Amino acid sequence: MSRNHALDSLRGLAALAVALGHCVLAVTGQGAWALRLADFPGLDAAAILARLAHVLFPADAAVLLFFALSGHVLWAACARHPGGLLTGLPDWTIARLYRLLPVAMASALPLGFLADAGAERLIGNMLLLRYDLNGPAWSLQVEMVASLGLFLVHRLAGGQGRGLAIAFALSVLLLPLLRGVLPMAVYFPVFLGGALIADLPRWLWRGVIPWFGLAALLLGSLLLGRGGLGRAAESLGAVLVVGTVAHRQPAWLLHPVPLFLGRISYPFYLSHSLGLALAAPWATQAGALGPAGQVLAFALLSLAVAIPVAWLLHVAVEAPLMQARPRLPAPRRVKHLAS
């Protein structure tokens, strides 16, 4: 199966949305981020504009887009991966660890230096056991657990869409029971929804439905809040947006800039925190320019750091190590001799 470069570009734009959304968050704080449309009548213009900035650069929704995209891509990767549930799981686990850990380790080092982190804290962040040096790394913990869950579902369902649909329905029904016990479980339906994209009818990707998905992704939390309903709307929107791009491959996503962002998307996602940390002393001095000026200062200064660092991590760490990752021997097929 040929690589879908439009999905790579979509991942890059999602990483950019996260980076810019965190620039807005650094200026407006959590208060503006949590506002709903129903709160607008009692707000001044500055607060409303601050909340709308989070719609324009939706960091939270972009992470859900990552999850849906990973579910779609990893489900296809499960089908190509050799072995059954027990024989194929070790190599699948190594593949996922090799995909996530090297860049996470390299990106944690400068943040640990800036924070004067001790060895235990630094190693914990490098291994994705904690994320108090790089906040966005929480999603990588979810990604790792969900990728193992996807492999389990794929093998138990025999790779069939019907079994996947049943797993998706169960994951939604069990959310109220698992939310307090296993917080990561609230995101697993998004991965399974992304995995379902290949089995959904093609008419979903035509007409107004893709536009409805984009609106749900961008406006879900604004209209319904940041609780379960808002997350459900954003999750549905994420699946519809990923499905539309996967099937239609818009030409504008195949231009050099989005393709470049797609190539560096993973290290960029992790390195933008370094850019924010280094930009903060100068960006905060732009207070005389107002909130919009401060956001612009954060964006320009942080991206000037994050994008070159991400490119360096891509060419020096991510790309070569992905090509050189170790693979376990393929499981042997047992031949049954006729008696």
pLDDT tens digits, one per residue of 213-241: 999 999 999 999 988 899 999 999 999 99
What SS3 state is found at 182? coil
Residue 328 makes CB contacts below 8 A (sequence gap 6+) with 90, 91, 94
Domain with 217, as residue range(s), is 5-323
Residue 80 lies in a domain: yes
Q: Is the distance from CB of 204 to CB of 242 less than 8 angstroms?
A: no
Encode pLDDT of 135-179 as tens digits.
Answer: 999 999 999 999 999 999 999 999 999 999 999 999 999 988 887
Q: How far is CA 196 from CA 57, 150, 228, in A?
A: 27, 11, 21
pLDDT of residue 326: 77
Encode pLDDT of 272-307 as tens digits.
Answer: 999 999 999 998 887 778 889 999 999 999 999 999
Q: Is the distance from CB of 306 to CB of 269 less than 8 angstroms?
A: no
Encode pLDDT of 306-329 as tens digits.
Answer: 999 999 999 999 999 888 887 877
Closest Cα to residue 238, out of 195, 190, 198, 201? 190
Query: Given a cut of 80, is residue 21 above it in pLDDT?
Result: yes
Residue 318 lies in a domain: yes
pLDDT of residue 24: 95
Residue 337 lies in a domain: no
Separation of alpha carbons 254 and 333, rounded Å = 41
Residue 291 lies in a domain: yes
Amino acid identity of residue 281, one-letter, is P
pLDDT of residue 334: 45
pLDDT of residue 331: 63
Residue 333 lies in a domain: no
Number of domains in the chain: 1
Closest Cα to residue 25, out of 231, 321, 302? 302
Residue 201 lies in a domain: yes
Residue 194 lies in a domain: yes
Residue 188 lies in a domain: yes
- State the chain's mean pLDDT as an integer: 92
Separation of alpha carbons 138 and 184, rounded Å = 10
The average pLDDT across 42-61 equals 94
pLDDT of residue 208: 93
